[in-house]
Amino acid sequence: MIDPSFEILYEDNHCLAVVKPSGVVSAHFQGEEQTLDRAVKAYLKEKYRKPGNVFLGVVHRLDRPVSGVLLFARTSKAAARLSEQFRDGSIEKVYWAIVEGDVNRTAGTLEDWLRKDEKRGRVEVVEPGDRGARQALLHYHRRAAHGGLTWLEVRPQTGRTHQLRVQLAHHGHPIYGDAKYGAIHTFGRAIGLHARSLTFLHPIRNEPIALTAEVPRGWRGRFAYLLREGQP
């Protein structure tokens, strides 16, 4: 059996889900940089001894410094159906975020309007009526707080670029290690944001598939007390 350089959470003829390590790019556009989709294609090509190009549908992405569940499609039909689920918001996404500061409320909802600044490579919070503004909505609850940090479980209702990073920072709690949006602490190539779970309808069988990714090893050392305190 081939031992890929990434953990496989789910694999069948239609879908493949892996645990994305932080610091790795989800999918390539141009250039020769090794990306996760290229690694998955190489794994499929070798495992199934495919002679030509391997199809792999990129149906969503995680930012480079983010870890967690990443789903790919293995056929064009699956790619179209999964992409539609992401667009209409029917896929349930749960993130774990370690943020700076003490979040006082046990639970809440954040609604903002975001606009991507292509020149600066950043996303900013703007007024609802501004040109290019798109609504961003997320729900959170606090799992634990210690030493000026808070562990949040976050469920985004929309899927905007950098949404969780921008919204949490805008409301006074940047994600740990996310210097791009104002964090004080550093965390190597990672930030304290992990795509904990993903629940979707199988594109062919139409049955729910729930996938969960364990937190990276770096979390267990850096955030050991928080993780221990926040367990149910």
Q: Which of the residues are catalytic? A: 63
Residue recorded with tokens 């349930």: 92
Q: What is the DSSP string of 147-160?
A: TTEEEEEEEESS--
- Structure tokens of 214? 């364990």
Dist. CA 190–CA 94, nearest whole Å: 18
Q: What is the DSSP letter of 182?
A: T
- Structure tokens of 153? 């479980």
Q: Is 47 helix (H, G, I), strand (E, B) or coil?
A: helix
Residue recorded with tokens 């030509």: 52
Range list of β-strands (E), 33-181:
57-58, 67-73, 92-100, 107-117, 122-126, 134-146, 149-156
- Structure tokens of 104? 């006082």
